[in-house]
Amino acid sequence: MITRRDFMKLAGGGFASVAALGGYAFAVEPLARLSIVRYRLTPPGWTPGLKLRLVALADLHACEPWMSAERIVSICKRANSLGGDITVLLGDYASSMNFVTRYVHSSEWSRALSTLSAPLGVHAVMGNHDWWEDRTAQMNGGGETFAHRALAGVGIEVHSNRAVRLEKDGFGFWLAGLEDQLALRPGKIWSRRRMTGLDDLDGTLAQVSDDAPVILLAHEPDIFPRVPSRVSLTLSGHTHGGQVRFAGLSPVVPSRFGDRYAYGHIIEEDCHLIVSGGLGCSVAPIRFGVPPEIVVVDLG
């Protein structure tokens, strides 16, 4: 029979464990860790002889103390050291958290991102928070957000339903970027189903004019079931890997597909998707089991 003293010891130990886990999820994993997650693949139809390294950063959510301009510069320097041929930014530069000491202005986080460099350039798409935090863009129902202008202002190429042809060692490939799928919010009534996307997958892929492989940048991975096999690889962020992840599963994922596209390398019908766990936090400054990460993809 358990005694009162034994019960208090168990209760105290349990409380201490919960407090320790909470402290780790709040103060250690979001702030002090940075993982380099690597993938190597040769998708169907990939050009023989074309070897390409992509470095991908997603979901910065710039704010203090969690993602200061100084920390962004440090992350960018680490990304530059990874030997990428091309660097891609997968959206959500702006923060919408309430648990912040200061919001980092777009002029600051864009200047920090200008630290990035790669032989084939730095290329970006927008995320939902970049749209949601811009009231003027919401009222206009489109156009450019402050994030579009901030990135373009520091020389980072922004893709809004646009495909460009690039070359590496004489081999061509296409980089296509979609505008955000949840860009416009329906007034005061929040409902993911009522969001209006500004993405145009068919129009973007129609710009591809030869047989070279296509890499698609799409902030939300929910577009993936519509992506044709013509696309060699889709790169997404948005989910943060669920931000809290146990035994490979996340209890809450901001996707209509639940955990299906929450994180990692997904293959469906010979189509490849890689979802980054991202770098920052959304809603609450907590990460557990999904440390901030830079993604490196070696193709070919």
CATH number at residue 254: 3.60.21.10
Decide: 239 and 261 in contact? Cβ < 8 Å.
yes
10 Å Cβ neighbour count for 157? Answer: 15
Q: Are residues 96 and 17 in the same domain?
A: no
What pLDDT does residue 96 have?
81
Q: Are residues 39 and 118 in the same domain?
A: yes
Element (H, E) at 40: strand 35-41
pLDDT, one tens digit per residue, over 249-283 is: 888 899 999 999 999 999 999 999 999 999 999 88
Per-residue CA distances from 4 to 1, 8, 17, 67 (Å): 10, 6, 20, 45
Task: Print the domain residue range for 19.
Answer: 1-32
Domain count of the fold of the chain: 2
Q: Are residues 294 and 191 in the same domain?
A: yes
What pLDDT does residue 11 have?
38
Q: Are residues 204 and 281 in the same domain?
A: yes
Q: Are residues 167 and 117 in the same domain?
A: yes
Q: Are residues 1 and 65 in the same domain?
A: no
Q: Are residues 279 and 193 in the same domain?
A: yes
pTM over 0.85: yes
Confidence of residue 98 (pLDDT cuts 50, 70, 90): confident
Decide: 193 and 222 in contact? Cβ < 8 Å.
no
Query: Please, is 188 exposed, middle or buried when counting C-beta atoms within 10 Å of its C-beta (0-12, 13-18, 19+)?
Result: exposed
Q: Are residues 205 and 262 in the same domain?
A: yes
**How far is 199 from 273, CA to CA, in rounded Å?**
17
The stretches of 94-232 forming alpha helices (DSSP H) are 106-113, 128-132, 135-140, 146-153, 201-205
Spatial CB neighbours of 94, under 8 Å, sequence gap ≥ 6: 61, 62, 106, 129, 130, 132, 133, 134, 147
**How far is 223 from 236, CA to CA, in rounded Å?**
10
10 Å Cβ neighbour count for 231? Answer: 23
Q: What are the DSSP E strand ranges found in 128-211?
A: 157-158, 162-168, 171-177
Q: Are residues 22 and 93 in the same domain?
A: no
Spatial CB neighbours of 11, under 8 Å, sequence gap ≥ 6: none
Q: Are residues 210 and 152 in the same domain?
A: yes
**How far is 61 from 43, CA to CA, in rounded Å?**
31
Q: Are residues 74 and 95 in the same domain?
A: yes
Confidence of residue 18 (pLDDT cuts 50, 70, 90): very low
140: amino acid identity, one letter: N
pLDDT, one tens digit per residue, over 176-234 is: 999 999 999 986 545 556 789 999 999 999 999 999 999 999 999 999 999 999 999 99
Q: Are residues 5 and 87 in the same domain?
A: no
